[in-house]
């Protein structure tokens, strides 16, 4: 597989595309003016402890208090060598397997606590934090609050594991914990030592800053998000990196020369007049990433949204669950097959399994995901589809968990993410429908207005001037369909009515003025 990274640097944002065999599989947008807090370390103050949720809210100096769950506090007991701790996110995912102490026995209100952001604020929820600090380098991860030395489970050779464990054991300081990442396999001893020294220097600076700080305070700020992405993504599997900005090119090259010297030769500074994403045919793929219907090569298609095939009902415990229900429906579409229906369905489902895994990475969708594959009678066929989905998901850097086919023929899975998905980054909630995707009809809005007029009439307005301000469609509906009712109010000498069109009002906006006083909310 040929893997390359293409980076487009513009005035306000940096766009990163990951291609596998010239197909777009990952896409990230970094707003250059946006303040990122992921992996930042703060000295916070405990503001509230909620035993029923086993959580606490921490003031770290941001608009919203941070959320700290008991599972993100103490080190899991047991044998850490049995866990895949090749990166900090895997470490936290595996901590859920162990029991944790009650949060009320670990914290008290007003207590100072050093925390690290493990998930950025998403929508209305504040950031999620952990007291188990970790700082990944290119080859190793330092976990200064954990007395443990480990090697990624993905490194299988026993002699290599022993060599890497010896390096970190001989070069650690005190009881500072280190985990060797998969990328360190085969790397020179000195390169790994250099990585360890750099991470230890970060921890030293944090301790110095901590001594002179009072909560809430920022203790450590993570480096450029683009460099972080390359640190975690630009490994031996990447064949080429192309970037269209000379300053960033030099910055990235210097970073890779310091951390992965062999990789620096794979960077290309793009200087062609054709926009880089056009040259690599990425722009069209990005447009497709926002479409709810994705066509398969066979002629079938998948639909990605919240309402196709089922209506998800999420019972959400505020500030605890940030899971979004994503529904994916598979259809044969134009593909009718050549032999029999079962083979047609199997081929469509297998193709859909690979495309679904790609779309999850590309859109960076997270939470609960329900997939409605086309019904299959053959048990062997269902197993093939599940196996294909799991195999395709192995390329995903985010933590995923896939379950077997349910009695209703649905496949349930979860996908972990720590930042906003592609939709949230590029789209804003519609100010008119407030994210519902539907607007109240002109008839329903008009009936609301008439009901309010009836309530006002009960108090006996007695020929007072009344103005109805609304969207042009609503005004038109009232004139054409409710003129008799409006005339009735006037004939009863209740009030004189004026209909006034307001161009800036949405279909659901309206205002009722009685003697120039807004009485809309009073009688609504």
pLDDT digits (tens, 9 = 90+) for 86-124: 444 444 444 444 456 889 999 999 999 999 999 888 767
> What pLDDT does residue 307 have?
47
> What pLDDT does residue 339 have?
62
> What pLDDT does residue 93 have?
47
**315 pLDDT above the threshold of 70:** no
The 3-state secondary structure of 330-391, one letter per residue: EECCCCCCCCCHHHHHHHHHHHHHHHHHHHHHHHCCCEEEEEECCCCCCHHHHHHHHHHHHH
Find the mean pLDDT for residues 230-235.
Answer: 76
Do the Cβ atoms of 499 and 471 come closer than 8 Å? no
Find the mean pLDDT for residues 150-179.
Answer: 93
**177 pLDDT above the threshold of 70:** yes
pLDDT digits (tens, 9 = 90+) for 366-385: 888 999 898 888 888 889 99
Find the mean pLDDT for residues 516-523.
Answer: 90
Reported confidence tier of residue 129, pLDDT bands at 50, 70, 90: very high
How far, in Å, CA of 203 to CA of 208, rounded?
A: 9
How far, in Å, CA of 164 to CA of 141, rounded?
A: 13
**Of 403, 352, 397, which Cα lies nearest the Cα of 374?**
352
Reported confidence tier of residue 166, pLDDT bands at 50, 70, 90: very high
> What pLDDT does residue 457 have?
80
| Average pLDDT score, the chain | 84
> Tokens in use for 312?
């998800």
Reported confidence tier of residue 235, pLDDT bands at 50, 70, 90: low
**3-state SS assignment for residue 432:** coil
**39 pLDDT above the threshold of 60:** yes
């Amino acid at each position: 597989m040929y893997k390359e990274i293409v980076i487009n640097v513009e005035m306000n944002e940096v766009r990163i595309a990951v291609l596998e065999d010239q197909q777009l599989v990952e896409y990230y947008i970094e707003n250059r003016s946006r303040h990122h807090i992921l992996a930042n370390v703060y000295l916070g103050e405990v503001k509230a402890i909620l035993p029923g949720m086993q959580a606490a809210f921490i003031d770290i100096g941001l608009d919203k208090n941070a959320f700290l769950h008991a599972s993100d506090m103490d080190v899991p007991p047991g044998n850490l060598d049995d866990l895949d701790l090749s990166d900090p996110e895997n470490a936290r995912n595996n901590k859920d397997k162990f029991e944790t102490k009650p949060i009320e026995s670990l914290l008290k209100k007003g207590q100072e606590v050093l925390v690290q952001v493990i998930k950025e604020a998403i929508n209305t929820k504040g950031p999620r934090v952990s007291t188990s600090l970790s700082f990944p380098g290119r080859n190793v991860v330092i976990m200064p609050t954990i007395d443990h030395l480990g090697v990624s489970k993905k490194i299988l050779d026993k002699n290599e594991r022993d060599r890497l464990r010896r390096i970190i054991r001989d070069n650690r300081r005190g009881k500072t914990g280190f985990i060797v990442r998969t990328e360190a396999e085969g790397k020179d001893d000195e390169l790994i030592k250099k990585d360890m020294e750099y991470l230890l220097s970060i921890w030293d600076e944090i301790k110095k800053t901590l001594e002179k700080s009072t909560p809430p305070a920022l203790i450590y700020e993570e480096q450029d998000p683009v460099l972080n992405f390359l640190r975690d993504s630009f490994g031996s599997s990447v064949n080429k990196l192309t970037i269209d900005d000379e300053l960033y090119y030099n910055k990235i090259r210097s970073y890779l020369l310091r951390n992965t010297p062999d990789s620096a030769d794979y960077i290309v500074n793009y200087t062609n007049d054709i926009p880089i994403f056009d040259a690599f045919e990425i722009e069209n793929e990005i447009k497709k990433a926002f479409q709810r219907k994705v066509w398969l090569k066979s002629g079938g298609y998948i639909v990605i949204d919240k309402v196709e095939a089922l209506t998800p009902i999420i019972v959400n415990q505020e500030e605890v669950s940030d899971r979004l229900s994503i529904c994916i429906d598979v259809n044969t579409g134009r593909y009718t097959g050549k032999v029999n229906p079962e083979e047609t369905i199997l081929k469509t489902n297998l193709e859909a399994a690979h495309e679904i895994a790609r779309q999850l990475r590309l859109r960076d969708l997270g939470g609960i995901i329900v997939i409605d594959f086309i019904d299959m009678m053959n048990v062997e066929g269902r197993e093939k589809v599940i196996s294909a989905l799991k195999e395709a998901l192995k390329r995903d850097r985010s933590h995923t968990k896939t379950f077997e086919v349910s009695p209703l023929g649905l496949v349930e899975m979860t996908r972990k993410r720590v930042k906003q998905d592609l939709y949230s980054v590029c789209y804003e909630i519609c100010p008119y429908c407030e994210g519902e995707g539907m607007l109240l009809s002109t008839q329903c809005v008009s009936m609301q207005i008439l009901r309010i007029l009836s309530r006002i009439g009960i108090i006996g307005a007695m020929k007072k001037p009344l103005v109805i301000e609304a969207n042009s469609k609503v005004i038109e509906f009232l004139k054409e369909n409710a003129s008799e009712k409006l005339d009735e109010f006037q004939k009863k000498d209740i009030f004189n009515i004026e209909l006034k069109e307001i161009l800036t009002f949405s279909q659901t906006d309206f205002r009722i003025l009685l003697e120039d006083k807004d009485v809309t909310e009073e009688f609504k």
